[in-house]
Copies of this chain bind each other. A is one copy, B any other.
Amino acid sequence: MRQSKFFLKTIKNIPGEETAINAQLLLRAGFIDKLMSGVYTYLPLGLKVLDKIKSIIREEMITVGGQEIYMPALQPRSLWEETKRWESMKNILFQLKGRGGSDLCLGATHEEVVVDLVRKRVNSYKDLPLALFQIQDKFRNEPRAKSGLLRGREFVMKDLYSFHTDVNNLEDYYEEVKVAYFKIFSRLGLDAKIVEASGGAFTSEYSHEFQVLTESGEDTIFWCSCGWAQNKEVCQISVGQICPACKKHKVSESRAIEVGNIFKLGQKFSRDMNLSFMDKNGKKDFITMGCYGIGPSRILGSIVEVHHDQQGIIWPATVAPYQIHLLLLDLRREASRILAEALYEKMKKMGLTVLFDERVESPGSKLKEADLVGLPIRLVISEKTNTLVEYKARNSKDVLLLSEKELLNKLITP
């Protein structure tokens, strides 16, 4: 993509109330626009990253047998009355009126809708197990929406729901999804730790959170280098005390970001909503459920919280909007222009994604902006590099001067 034609506008002044690093950097670097508190537009660069995050999550969900569906945001009060959550989740549910005064809400989660869907279609053990997921926008009327993409009022969610004949079958699947989650976070460039958690508003059953350590997360977790202690809600350990698990290390404290959670819902929702099946012996029983969330938009923010420096974002290659930032610093020099144009076309033909900065701007501002945007590889062509190309990885200080041939070889086998 030629940057002169690209809707990428880095900005200097960002809204004063944006204190989170992810929001500051994503706004400044032109990945998102802020419409109002907790509500953002994804600009071309931001949408590309979001789509890559979604694709990685989708792939791993399909690997664990998930079948993709797409449920509505608009939901009728009647379903939420069945689980008594119309009242109990009132605080964060956006409730609104439809035609004729009907009561509706915007989906903050989809247990009600998915259970209604499945109870209309599943009635035998032969239909189980079943795993359905969606990647869809959710709405929560958050009291504090001050963490950029970490806590939106409108946000993207991948929610997987699993349906089983019994707890043992759920347990097996739950472990399978746990492994898939670690794989997802690793592919996304996040080092996530699993933490036992109490269920919060959604369930009183047993659950796990996946946490990433950062300087500006919303959660505090207590942990030990032998493994992980429990989170603050159930933790009886003080910082500095000896870890009860290994009896060797002292317990530390960190602010962390929850990047995913998994719940054993058991029969909670199937009892509330009468989701049952006939077992092998013709006996009726309630279906046992699990649910598994990851927020792609929150992940986007988390990646920035973890991968940045003073100059800007440092995108992991797996989610970078483009792999290469090609900077032509000296537009007046014909030899530079010819070299840059030829290299741009060659790299595109090789299947590499390239953002080509051929704008009439000062070299200083181009270099600064490239660091802010944070693509994995920066290539510079200028009078100084002459017939060579300067190669620099965003996550390294090393600068190489390479011939075109050397460069193309390096890009094939990084």
Contact = CB atoms under 8 A, between A and B. Distances in A.
- How many monomers of this protein are in the complex? 2
A1 to B, nearest CB: 9
Contact of A96 (B65, B72, B96): B96
Interface string A106-118: 1000000100110
A109 to B, nearest CB: 15
Given A67-B44, A117-B33, A39 B72 contact: yes
A5 B126 CA distance: 10
B41 A99 contact: no
A70 B41 contact: yes
A99 B141 contact: yes
Given A7-B130, A96-B96, A41 B71 contact: yes
A14 to B, nearest CB: 11
A67 B33 contact: no
A35 B153 contact: no
A276 B327 CA distance: 30
A7 B132 contact: yes
Interface in A38-78: 39-44, 47, 50, 65, 67-76
Given A41-B117, A99-B141, A99-B143, A47 B68 contact: yes
Q: How large is the interface on A (under 10, 10 to 19, 20 to 34, 35 or more residues)?
A: 35 or more
Given A7-B67, A11-B120, A33-B117, 18 more contacts: A5-B65, A6-B67, A7-B130, A7-B132, A9-B122, A11-B121, A35-B75, A41-B70, A41-B72, A44-B67, A50-B70, A72-B154, A73-B137, A74-B139, A94-B96, A96-B96, A99-B142, A99-B143
Interface of A: 5-7, 9, 11, 33, 35-36, 39-44, 47, 50, 65, 67-76, 94-96, 98-99, 106, 113, 116-117, 120-122, 130, 132, 137, 139, 141-143, 153-154
27 contacts: A5-B65, A7-B121, A9-B122, A33-B120, A35-B71, A35-B72, A35-B74, A35-B116, A36-B74, A36-B76, A39-B74, A41-B70, A41-B71, A41-B117, A43-B69, A44-B67, A47-B68, A47-B69, A47-B70, A50-B70, A72-B154, A73-B137, A74-B139, A74-B153, A94-B98, A95-B96, A96-B96
